[in-house]
Structure 1
Amino acid sequence: MPAKPNFVYIFCDDLGWGDVSCLNSESKIQTPNIDRLATSGMSFTDAHTGSAVCTPSRYTLLTGRYCWRTELKDGVGGGYSPPLITPDRLTVAEMLKQNGYRTACIGKWHVGFDWQLKDEFGDDAMPRHLCREETRFDDMVDFAKPILNGPTDVGFDYYFGISASLDMSPYVFIENDRATDIPCEIVPRGTTPEARAREGIGAKGWRHEDVLPALRDKSIRFIKQEAAAGNPFFLYLPVNGPHTPVVPNAEWIGKSGAGLYGDFVMEIDDVVGQIVATLEEAGVRDNTMVVFSSDNGPETLTARYRESYGHYSAWKFRGMKRDNWEGGHRVPFVVSWPAAVTAGSTCERFVELVDFMATVAEIVDADVPETAAEDSRSILPLLEGDFSSDCRPFAIHHSCNGQWAIRRGKYKLLLHSGSGGNRSECPENNDPVQLYDLEADLFETTNIYADHPDIVRELRELCLSCIKDGRSTPGQPLDNDPNGEWRQLEALLRLEV
């Protein structure tokens, strides 16, 4: 295996499985650069996020640990939410830094900062748990003070980006531990589904459409700098789209066959192409693992594109972002590493994005303590072409409402009624649980829980043991983070099946 490969992880925000043309031949959005990435490497058809929403998926990717083990038991954080990654938590960035890598996060962070308040407010004025709607903190934060416990405190040498989703204030770039400007203007609320963004404070002249190009340019600069210095590097690039506000720049409007959303996806695809081109120009492409994926399924606004444009962002899968059905967490996942991964290969084995940390650890021969990456399993055998390897015997999915589903082999058990996230009228709203045979029923049309009570009980107990043991991989039991009431677990314990 090649020594010390570089790692570039491009992480989209709300990109659906059906938005990528190499996966969905009927897509109304063309993604030639993502398609070329797949042609140069391995495309996974059965890859899943650690959650059906933003914040927990990002925590899971960076730590190799399911986010529901933290104090965030459901939902997502906001622009002023406190940090989820504790100082003693090993991240993939810190692990690589300890092994001689230069590390950068350039993009949407969304796993929390400790913002400092103006002197007239007490330390207790900023509550530990923040609703994402809490824009009243716009006037309380001192943007001239350092921003504490962010990316540069958990393993990244450099950070540039935005604190949370682009529809959440504060609308200002952060570089390392400082805001690049003092927010002084009110950015108005978006008035259409695509333009949806909360009103909030922002930097002078802030334009949402400037964010993606800024992330691209900073990423290109980092790659050139580290390649020229001969340093192995890790670039984590969580882009801000196609999450709302959907803001393609003028030169991309009208390029796709799926409205502004499709245009925005095409602009993101172009960023992918420019990143890969930079690696090639710097002479490091061959020994760089480029990973492309998304944090969850597509936003519900794309459902109307089925009728308007004939475009299916979640393809034929049931559900969308927030849901425990497949459309909520099955995502595009491409790994291109010319020096080690066979070009043009396809893997149909079941994997999760939580597996990134264990995989990287095996590649660089890093030591990972038993108390870290407790839900992560290496998929290196799959990348090497051994598709007989059962890297992931089972996995736990998690919805926006904090409810669980568990998948083992062909069976998937949703330990709740309905979607677990979005409201929908469906027969399963009256069923206590849902069991699907994904080999026979990939689109989850027929609930067979009543026909297989033994499988339901077995999977429920497996899920419970993974929750109680604090880990889903072999090793010593660990504690989940305390959070007082855990109503979803209490409901699961009461569930009679």
Structure 2
Amino acid sequence: MMTNHRKQPWPQLLARALAAALCVLPVIGASLLVAADRPNIVIILADDLGYGSLNSYDADESLIATPNIDRLAKQGRRFTDANTPSSVCSPTRYGLLTGRYDWRTNQKHGVVNTTDPLHIDTSRSTIASLLKSAGYRTAAIGKWHLGYGTTKADFTKPLTPGPLDIGFDYHFAVPQNHGDASGVYVRNRQVVGLRSDRNVPVGKSPYGRDFMGLDAPQRVDENVMDELTTDAVRWLDKQTADTPFFLYFAPVAIHFPYTPSAKTKGKSGTGLYGDWIHELDQSVGRILDAIEQMKATEETLVIFTSDNGGVLMTEGTRPEAEAYRAGLRCNGHLRGRKHSIYEGGFRIPFLVRWPGHVQPGSVCDETINLVDIYATLAAVIDQPLRLDEDIAEDSFNVLPAMLGTLHQEPLRPSMIVHSPNGNFAIRCGPWKYIEGKPSPTLKRIPRRDELHAQLYNLQDDPGEKHNVINEYPDAANRLASLLEQLRNEGRSSTRTSQRENTK
């Protein structure tokens, strides 16, 4: 098992983190990269899948079964300390695609709404544009949740700019969430099957809001996972061996509403919630099988993860509570859930398979974040990032952690996370400091019980049960200063050149 070198006393760790935040981005030598034949890349980003929701992350097999996803754990590497930059959907998706914290934009809290404009500036580099510039064919299929257009999106007209303007060659998506108010699919720049610009009565969404009433075929919730997966498989089938491909596949499972298909309904021991996890597992299996049928498994880097923690409920009649009473702990032993500032909102499954490069059945406890995927893939294709570029400002190259390369220091000197009410936390070594302040622009402030300064030693107290801010005020003050410094500087990484650091 890979160690994370965090046994030193906290003052040395914190001092090293402060220095590292000002000096270097760890890198990997060119000898470890694919030179001539760059790997195909598939990122599967599940929705609301918590840390304890897979058998490979200790979920009881009598409650749920995730053999397809766990195939990646057996054939690759399982991370125990992978994190999202936010405990809610769209800020994490922005961070993954751009390598930049979403709160550095005008989105200081909450999520992107169905009719909001494209949240990623078309001048900003994304994973898709990076890979496309290196000769990859690129596709974004599944949940989008990052907006379309330049103002309020008009779904009766071409939805531009959109994914095709930030590096993707192909796009097929649910615009925002499973069950969202649009009720339709978008393919490339337009609503699928749009018949006219008039409104039609189509009832209410599962959230109790009126559907937009677009004159187009309406999605059937029980069929959405199958239709998204089928589209992804068809796109994969069209790829050729002479051109590498990048698939960003974002299933709507396991986001509410829980609508398993006839194939998975009733198959788990935890009701609809567990059945919906089975639906996700079935989808992942189809993607992996498609890659195998293409005879591309050996040449494909697959990353499976989630956009935030699970929706934990312990009381009431909702499916989440039913699953809890059956024994499923969607976020494992961690405190909190989606939307919260605690680890249950950020810690997520993270599995990497890359035959011949990533050791099968291995485990890594290095602290990483989904914003690190940008710099890591840049290293994979040997296109290092430079300090003078406003690109992936918060992304660290964690390829050594994926490949099991020995390194003496943590690859990430610190990490900032935030909840949708604008509450910030920073992690450094074993310490996690929670600022406890809401976004100043919020009119209604949820989760007020979390809005106070807190300090936890996650090495000794992974469940965040003991707030030790009064016992270690110096640690809290130093972390508060580092948090403010990194926010003001506009970036977390101060890299020089990746090639310079490979010697």
User: Which of 161, 167, 180 pairs up with 1:155?
Assistant: 167
Quick one: percent identity of the two aligned structures?
Answer: 38
Q: TM-score, normalised by structure 2?
A: 0.84
Instruction: Work out whether residues 449 and 456 of structure 1, in 8 Å CA contact, stay in contact via their aligned partners in 2.
Output: yes
Secondary structure of the equivalent of 1:462? helix
Q: Does 1:249 align with 2:266?
A: no
Q: Does 1:67 align with 2:99?
A: no
Paired with 2:55 and 2:328, the residues of 1 have a C-alpha distance of: 11
Paired with 2:422 and 2:180, the residues of 1 have a C-alpha distance of: 22
Change (3 A) 1:187 1:443: farther
Q: What is residue 495 of structure 1 aligned with on the other side?
A: none
User: Which of 195, 199, 215 pairs up with 2:210?
Assistant: 199
Q: Deviations over 1:166-201 (max 9, x none)?
A: 2322111111111112275444435xxxx5463313
Q: What is residue 15 of structure 1 aligned with on the other side?
A: 49
Q: What is residue 133 of structure 1 aligned with on the other side?
A: none
Q: TM-score, normalised by structure 1?
A: 0.85
Q: Does 1:337 align with 2:372?
A: no
Q: Deviations over 1:134-173 (max 9, x none)?
A: xxx8xxx351x21111100000000011211123221111
Instruction: Work out whether residues 454 and 469 of structure 2, in 8 Å CA contact, stay in contact via their aligned partners in 1.
Output: yes
Paired with 1:170 and 1:142, the residues of 2 have a C-alpha distance of: 8
Report the alpha carbon displacement of residue 271 of structure 1 after superposing the two structures with TM: 0.9
Report the alpha carbon displacement of residue 305 of structure 1 after superposing the two structures with TM: 3.4
Report the alpha carbon displacement of residue 209 of structure 1 after superposing the two structures with TM: 1.9
Change (3 A) 1:360 1:352: same
Residues 214-225 of structure 1 mapped to structure 2, 5 A cutoff: 214-225=227-238
Report the alpha carbon displacement of residue 229 of structure 1 after superposing the two structures with TM: 4.9
Q: Deviations over 1:48-84 (max 9, x none)?
A: 0011100100000000000000110000011111111
More relative contact order in 1 or in 2 (CA 8 Å, sep 6+)? 2
Residues 436-447 of structure 1 mapped to structure 2, 5 A cutoff: 436-447=456-467
Q: Which letter does structure 2 place at the counterpart of 1:283?
A: K
Change (3 A) 1:459 1:425: closer
Secondary structure of the equivalent of 1:334? strand
Q: Does 1:33 align with 2:68?
A: yes
Instruction: Work out whether residues 139 and 170 of structure 2, in 8 Å CA contact, stay in contact via their aligned partners in 1.
Output: yes
Report the alpha carbon displacement of residue 366 of structure 1 after superposing the two structures with TM: 1.4
Secondary structure of the equivalent of 2:243? coil
Q: Which letter does structure 2 place at the counterpart of 1:441?
A: D
Paired with 1:6 and 1:416, the residues of 2 have a C-alpha distance of: 42
Deviates more, 1:106-115 or 1:391-400: 106-115
Structure 2, unaligned runs of 5 or more = 1-32, 314-318, 497-503
Q: What is residue 122 of structure 1 aligned with on the other side?
A: none
Paired with 1:305 and 1:387, the residues of 2 have a C-alpha distance of: 44
Change (3 A) 1:298 1:255: same
Instruction: Work out whether residues 107 and 237 of structure 1, in 8 Å CA contact, stay in contact via their aligned partners in 2.
Output: yes
Residues 336-355 of structure 1 mapped to structure 2, 5 A cutoff: 336-355=353-372
Report the alpha carbon displacement of residue 205 of structure 1 after superposing the two structures with TM: 4.6
Instruction: Work out whether residues 347 and 387 of structure 1, in 8 Å CA contact, stay in contact via their aligned partners in 2.
Output: no
Q: Does 1:270 align with 2:282?
A: yes
Paired with 1:43 and 1:355, the residues of 2 have a C-alpha distance of: 16
Paired with 2:155 and 2:71, the residues of 1 have a C-alpha distance of: 45
Paired with 1:281 and 1:377, the residues of 2 have a C-alpha distance of: 34
Report the alpha carbon displacement of residue 230 of structure 1 after superposing the two structures with TM: 2.4
Instruction: Work out whether residues 41 and 301 of structure 2, in 8 Å CA contact, stay in contact via their aligned partners in 1.
Output: yes
Paired with 1:263 and 1:276, the residues of 2 have a C-alpha distance of: 20
Residues 135-150 of structure 1 mapped to structure 2, 5 A cutoff: 141=154, 143=156, 145-150=157-162
Instruction: Work out whether residues 311 and 337 of structure 2, in 8 Å CA contact, stay in contact via their aligned partners in 1.
Output: yes
Report the alpha carbon displacement of residue 423 of structure 1 after superposing the two structures with TM: 5.7
Instruction: Work out whether residues 185 and 219 of structure 2, in 8 Å CA contact, stay in contact via their aligned partners in 1.
Output: no
Q: Deviations over 1:419-445 (max 9, x none)?
A: x9996696x66xx31000001100000
Instruction: Work out whether residues 293 and 332 of structure 1, in 8 Å CA contact, stay in contact via their aligned partners in 2.
Output: yes
User: Which of 235, 247, 252 pairs up with 1:235?
Assistant: 247
Report the alpha carbon displacement of residue 327 of structure 1 after superposing the two structures with TM: 0.2
Change (3 A) 1:95 1:197: farther
Q: Runs (4+) of structure 1 moved beyond 6 Å? A: none
Paired with 2:201 and 2:255, the residues of 1 have a C-alpha distance of: 21
Report the alpha carbon displacement of residue 24 of structure 1 after superposing the two structures with TM: 1.8
Report the alpha carbon displacement of residue 466 of structure 1 after superposing the two structures with TM: 0.8
Secondary structure of the equivalent of 1:451? coil
Instruction: Work out whether residues 155 and 190 of structure 2, in 8 Å CA contact, stay in contact via their aligned partners in 1.
Output: no
Paired with 2:54 and 2:279, the residues of 1 have a C-alpha distance of: 13
Q: What is residue 457 of structure 1 aligned with on the other side?
A: 477
Structure 1, unaligned runs of 5 or more = 116-125, 128-136, 477-497
Cα-Cα RMSD: 2.3
